[in-house]
Amino acid sequence: MFTYDFMQNAFAAAAIVAVLSGATGYFLVLRQQSFAGHALGHVGFAGATGALLAGLPPLSGLLAAAVCSGALMGLFGERLAERDVAVGLVLSVSLGLGLLFLSLFTGSAGQATSLLFGNVLAVDAATIRAMAAACIITLALLALISRPLLFATLRPELAAARGLDLRLVSALFLALVGAAVAEAAQIVGVLLVFTLMVGPAAAAQRLTTRVAHGIALAVLLALVEALAGVALSYLTDWPTSCWIALLSALAYLGSILASRG
């Protein structure tokens, strides 16, 4: 399978997305904002279908909508109750807009399907270069805010008392999550973005309590799941997203058994 250019592109894209998803997903699960990651996938779908309707590249709409909405949800409030209300409102509006844009779109239905479920086999070399650049920038920004982000996550009252703006930290982080969601959606689609953003991170946090080890393990699990999913998709002709989702679930179940052992 490595002799085919489209498979080489698929493995490269899956690896890029896995690294980004594993790192950002670790903080997402640690901050108990998994629902926000799920919502941003749906918001991105609305942005992508809106871009298609306007004759623009769907990825540009997906990225813009996810990043802007992530920042907006972060600014709505840091407390869990406030966050849930904010996420629910954004999710409801975005789903309505996505449905409207999709009903007005007269192009190929295959484009909309790819947005929902992903199509890693259709990624070309130019897209991979853009994904790699976006991944590097997002990871660099995540590293830049990682210390205040951990402080705000583990000791929010103390962080606020020392003058750290919790809303700003939350907005910056969720904007980065939005960028990661936009990339992950190209592999697993907006409906299964949970697969790479949450599954590996949740498994890693059950296996280790050390932050550095947890991030590394989440990235490793995401890489294994993504690359194995692409390979199994080639061998079985099943959708890549299906295999990645199954492998993610198995890894999480394995982490539960290992943590109880």
Domains in the chain (CATH in brackets) are 5-260 (1.10.3470.10)
pLDDT score at 11: 94
20 or 185, which is more confident? 20
Q: Among residues of the chain, what percentage have pLDDT more than 70?
A: 90
pTM comes to 0.88
Residues with Cβ within 8 Å of 200's Cβ and at least 6 positions away in sequence, in order, are 21, 22, 25, 217, 218, 219, 220, 221, 222, 225, 248, 251
- What is the structure's pLDDT at 107? 61
Determine the pLDDT at residue 81: 43
Contact (Cβ atoms closer than 8 angstroms) between residue 181 and residue 37: yes
- pLDDT, tens digit, 9 for 90 and up, residues 6-36: 999 999 999 999 999 999 999 999 998 887 7
Find the mean pLDDT for residues 230-242: 91
Q: For 71-124, what is each residue's pLDDT tens digit?
A: 887 887 555 445 666 667 777 777 788 778 877 876 655 666 676 677 787 788
pLDDT for the residue numbered 72: 82
Q: 168, 163, 149, 259: which is closest to 209 by C-alpha?
A: 259
Average pLDDT value over all residues in the chain: 86
Residue 243 in contact with residue 229, Cβ under 8 Å? yes
Q: Which of the residue ranges 54-63, 93-102, 213-222 has the most confident prediction, judged by mean pLDDT?
A: 213-222
Which pLDDT score is estimated for 86?
A: 64
What's the CA dihedral at 152, 139, 194, 255 to 10 degrees?
Answer: -80
What sections of the chain are H helices per DSSP?
A: 5-30, 34-53, 58-76, 80-104, 109-117, 125-154, 156-161, 166-188, 194-197, 199-207, 211-236, 240-260
H or E segment and range at residue 55: none
